[in-house]
Amino acid sequence: MSVDEKKEQPRESLEREIDAVVSAETAGLEPEQAGEIREKIRQRVRAEMEREIRLKTAADRREEARRIREERQKEKHAGEGRMFQRFNRNFRFQHMVMFSSVILLIVTGMPIKFPNFILSRFVISLWGGINNSTIVHRIGALMLVYFMVHHLLYTILSRDGRRDFVLLLPMPKDLRDAVQNIRYFLGKVKEKPRFGRFSYIEKFDYWAVYWGCIIMIGSGAFLWGESIALKYFPKFVLDIAHEMHSDEALLATLAIVIWHFYNVHFNPERFPGTLMWWHGQISEHEIKEEHPLEYEELMAKQAKTAAEVNPQ
């Protein structure tokens, strides 16, 4: 039996039922009047039923697509257990703005710092000359300022932002974890440190970016508004800003290339990198390995909620 035929069956039986009710209700009326009323009701009911069928098939299609998506996700992560949402959409958006702007700023800033380097000349020629390159540097700078403002508002105004900020504060446990990790790598202890939502490595990454943004935006603003700055500050303040901008840029670039790339890309357990920055999810296997304390907390919370919903 085709899908259309299946849909027709309940429609016909319902129409018969309605006919019977309407005939009973219009029994005392003139046949012409009764026929008119019956026809009006029939048209109304048919329109309503067709609308419902349309809505139902659209909802069915959406439901089916969702089921297929989930199935594919499950297949992809078979063996890794279920997935946990680690970063929300807002946070992922901020991260994307931040890394796009930093890449632009490095690519356009470094050739100014090392103008005689052959790669610098090549990159500047790709932008169509130094003028265009410095314009792109300023566009990257505005993106970074936007990111900083967005992140500050997110930290103050959203529940997840406030929670993460508190969890990112350095604690004495981080120092103990760092020492234990070094001892573990040296083979002195068998147990790796057990991290919560953020390890000391992630906290270091976060605060390095925070500090870096303050220095780069502060000193960059001086360079951008050089003539205005010279009206209010002595020249040596501008020289210091220039030095800070230039040196912190190199430090940030090296930190990203060595520290960050190793931790998230070249580390053998992660190579060639994860797509967490895109979908924000972490597998059960990974959360148990990397953030066991957070995993235990989540499980305890789930058990508590289940007990509240379904008391024995």
Here's the x/- map for ligand HEM, 13-52, by CB under 6 A: it reads as ----------------------------------------
Among 95, 137, 151, 203, binds ligand HEM (CB under 6 A): 137
For ligand HEM, the binding residue among 7, 42, 77, 113 (CB under 6 A) is: 113
Judged by CB under 6 A, the residue of 252, 282, 286, 290 near ligand HEM is 252
Asked if residue 57 lies in contact with residue 3, where contact means CB atoms within 8 angstroms, the answer is no
Are the C-beta atoms of residues 105 and 308 closer than 8 Å to each other? Answer: no
Q: Which of residues 47-106 bind ligand HEM (CB under 6 A)?
A: 102, 105-106
Pick the binder of ligand HEM from 180, 246, 263, 274 (CB under 6 A): 246
**Hey, is 27 helix, strand or coil?**
coil
CB of 249 to ligand HEM, least distance (A): 4
Of 14, 244, 283, which is closest to residue 236 (Cα–Cα)?
Answer: 244
C-beta of residue 264 within 8 angstroms of C-beta of residue 273: yes
Q: Which two tokens stand for residue 106?
A: 């490095």
Cα 272 from Cα 261, distance rounded (Å): 10
Part in contact with ligand HEM (CB under 6 A); list of ranges 109-117, 151-159, 275-283, 299-307: 109-117
Q: Which is nearer to ligand HEM, 177 or 205 (CB)?
A: 205
Distance in angstroms (rounded) separating the CA atoms of residues 174 and 200: 5
Q: Which is nearer to ligand HEM, 37 or 112 (CB)?
A: 112
Could you give phi then psi for residue 77, rounded to 5 degrees?
A: -105, 25
Total site size for ligand HEM, rule CB under 6 A: 21
**CB nearer to ligand HEM: pick between 161 and 220:** 220
* Alpha-carbon span 311 to 306, nearest angstrom: 8
The phi and psi torsions of 199 (rounded to 5 degrees) equal -80, 170
Interface with ligand HEM, residue 220, by CB under 6 A: yes
CA–CA dist 91, 151 (Å, integer): 8
Binding site for ligand HEM (CB under 6 A): 102, 105-106, 109-110, 112-113, 134, 137, 141, 144, 216-217, 220-221, 223-224, 245-246, 249, 252
